[in-house]
Amino acid sequence: MMQAVAQVGQWLGLGSSIVANLFNPRVIVIRGYFASLAEWLLPHAQDQLQRLVVAAPAAQCRFVASTLGFGAASRGAASMVVNRIIDDPTTIMDSLPRPTAY
């Protein structure tokens, strides 16, 4: 099983090296099931990332595991909607159906 996790880490590092070479992120956040395997997965992914990155600034990119759990995406989406309504309560009126004239 550890060999399979190591191989997934290498593939994760390969894919992330492409992202790092294109966009130069400072951090790549791993979440969900990958976050629970971070202890074994991320060393292999980080090694592969460092080996395959081309640009020197992209070499500063690192992996971190999210601690927010599986509901983080839905909570984040909900908070964006709530913040938009708090910022401008009239925006909710734009999405309501308008009565039709007879």
Q: How would residue 97 be classed by pLDDT, with cut points 50, 70 and 90?
A: low
Per-residue pLDDT tens for 50-92?
Answer: 999 987 777 789 999 998 888 888 888 899 989 988 998 877 7
* pLDDT value at residue 101: 72
The reported pLDDT for the residue numbered 72 is 82
What proportion of the chain, given as a percentage, has pLDDT over 90?
Answer: 49
- Tally Cβ neighbours within 10 Å of residue 24: 14
Instruction: Please classify residue 43 by burial: count the beta carbons closer than 10 Å to its beta carbon, then call 0-12 exposed, 13-18 middle and 19+ buried.
Output: middle
Dihedral, CA atoms, 61, 67, 71, 73, nearest 10 degrees?
-20
The conformation of residue 101, written as its DSSP 8-state character, comes to P
72-46-3 Cα angle (round to 5): 95
Element (H, E) at 84: helix 72-87
pLDDT of residue 42 exceeding 70, the answer is yes
With a threshold of 0.85, does the pTM exceed it?
A: no
Mean per-residue pLDDT of the chain: 87
pLDDT of residue 18 exceeding 90, the answer is yes
